[in-house]
Structure formats: C-alpha cells, structure tokens
Amino acid sequence: MPTPHYGQPRYRTIADELRHRIENGIIQPGALLPAESTLTAEFQASRGTIRQAIAALREEQLVTTEHGRGTYAHTPQHKSRIDKEIETETLQRQIPADPELASLFEVELGTALFEEQILTRRNGAVETVTRLYRVR
C-alpha cells in the first residue's frame, strides 16, 4: 500500500473540513467533536492522521482537547461588549488550593490562594460567575 499525498496533505484536508463544520455551526460551540475513532471511520484515515488534523486545529486555538474526555469546539465569541444592564457583585476571599490549582500554581495542595469572585446578573438572575485565582 503506497501512501501518496500529492498536493494537499490528508491531515490538512481533514482539518479544513472540521474547521468548516465548527465555523458554520455544524458542530456547535462548546460541543464535543466526534471521537477520534469516529473520525477515523468517516475520513477513512488512520488515527495518527486524525490526531494530526486535530493538533492543527488546536494550534489555531479552535479546539481544546482533554485526556479521556474529547475535543471541544471553541466559541468564536470575541465580543467584549459592555452591557449596561448587567450588574456585578464582587467578593474576595481566601480558599485552599484544589488539586488542579495546586498543580497549576505549583504549590502544595491546600495552600491558601487569593480568590476574587465576580457575579454578573441580568434581571436579578446570575448569568456568569467568574473566579480569579492568584497565589499570595
């Protein structure tokens, strides 16, 4: 079995197709892409090639991949609109580092971290909760 790749490489063609689906909402923002095994079947390509295509999308910041979970499509929302209807509430406190934060900050599990929590409300209902962590 030869492996010709005249012109455009296969993994790039696949990446282009997946990008198209994400940008056109065929794959919803935040949704999981089909599993590698599924894509393997659909594109009739080896898993390595599929992974190469996904790696290309990852470099474009178009998707993120989580071990054992899957690959998520990004939301193309770069809207920095400031809505005046939105009320915010801010709260500051200290919390112990959970395993993930401890790992990210490279501190011991349970180390006190500085946390700022910002609520945004629309019509009274909480719309988003933002938590910002820093080492103290």
Residue ranges binding a second copy (CB under 8 A): 30, 59, 61, 64, 66, 69, 72, 74-75, 90-93, 101, 104-106, 114, 119, 125-134, 136
Contact status: 30 vs DNA (CB under 7 A) = no
Choices 20-28, 64-72, 103-111, 126-134; region in contact with DNA by CB under 7 A: 64-72
Answer with the entry of DNA, a second copy, none that 45 interacts with (C-beta below 5 to 8 A by kind): DNA
Distances in Å between the alpha carbon of 128 and those of 75, 100, 124, 125? 16, 21, 12, 9
Token pair, residue 4, equals 């010709």
- Answer whether 89's CB lies under 8 Å from 116's CB: no
Answer with the entry of DNA, a second copy, none that 31 interacts with (C-beta below 5 to 8 A by kind): none
- Answer whether 123's CB lies under 8 Å from 108's CB: no
